[in-house]
Amino acid sequence: MWHVLEFHAMPDRRLLAAIALSLLTHVLAVSSPAWRLPFESDEPEKASLLDVHLVSPPNPPPAPAIAHPKPHPKATKQSRPAITPPELLAETPTDIAVLVGADSATAEASAPSMPPVAVEPLPPPLRAPKREITWPRQGHIRFVVTRGEQGFILGVSVHSWEHDEAHYSIRTVTETTGLVSFFKRLKIVQVSVGTIGPAGLAPQEFHVERDGKLAEGARFDNEAQLVTLTDGGLKRRDDSLAEGAQDLLSHLYQFGLVEKQQRFELMIATGKKYASYAYELVGQETLATRFGDVPTLHYRTPPMPGEQTTEIWLAPDFRNLPVRIRFIDRSGDIYDQNADEIEMDGKMITSRGSS
């Protein structure tokens, strides 16, 4: 009898081992809060250069010689004063002083015969109105991370941020939970810091930590117009910094700060790669969440056979924050992040289990 029980127990242990191996494979597939990006090319696109040549203006034609009347030897009347040609009046010191901003007293002294000219003061230069930043100054979003259409839970990812309308900092912490963490514990941290301007977010530093160890990253140098990819804090290579370039984390919040478009094209630095990709507006959709139905704007990278796809759902009612992020890899496996808690400026807007 005991031999029979042992015979049936062996397949059960093998089945558990197979399940554990499958779960471990699923966990290892999770590499970042935003997963991987579907790059269109391995090499960064070269910015087109505008070829400019300076051409000297043509030499002006020689001024016509002024014919002076010959004096009449027998003239008895007083000669009239010489008349200055109109084209020379336009070059008097008074007019030149007005153009270059010279002192008015000096100009009048140099041409006492000219009547004073009333000059209207120039209006102050127009300044672009300060764009209102709708992004909450402080907050966090808690995402549940799942795999597959059935929504097998892998872990959670918490996005937190703060800004003062001039500088920003975003941090995400993604961890395995539940049964998955029993087989494999993973903790991935992403950090993006930079400035906020008229064009939205301008990253300066991005890095990834895996289980407490510094991994890939990117540094943005606006003065040198370079983006430097790093690995463990060490430089890997430099690329030309494109206007509006983002990192893997900042681009998720850049969408909410700029004017909505039918198509976004960006250069993204993940730390491992720096390449061009695009998002297209799929349309307006109502998303079912744990805190009710939420109207969203659905963006997606153009689907291509054999390529990865990334999708983002922005919630206008929640200041255009992302409430869902989906990644579909080349094999068709689906990884989802669905928000189940949102806090903005110290106020809990939603909570787990609310309706």
CATH 2.50.20 fits 137-348, yes or no: yes
User: Considering the entire predicted model, what is its pTM?
Assistant: 0.65
pLDDT value, residue 150: 87
Are the CB atoms for 277 and 270 separated by under 8 Å?
Answer: no
Predicted confidence band at 282 (pLDDT cuts at 50, 70, 90)? very high
Residue spans per domain, the chain: 137-348
Predicted confidence band at 93 (pLDDT cuts at 50, 70, 90)? very low
Predicted confidence band at 330 (pLDDT cuts at 50, 70, 90)? confident
Q: What is the pLDDT of residues 128-162, one digit of tens each?
A: 334 678 899 999 999 999 999 888 999 999 999 99
CB atoms inside a 10 Å sphere around CB 57: 5
Q: Within 13 Å, how many C-alpha atoms sit on residue 205's CB side?
A: 8
Q: What is the pLDDT of residues 24-39, one digit of tens each?
A: 555 444 444 444 433 3
pLDDT value, residue 14: 63
> In 3-state terms, what secondary structure has residue 178?
helix
Q: What is the DSSP string of 71-87?
A: PPTT--SPPPPPPPPHH
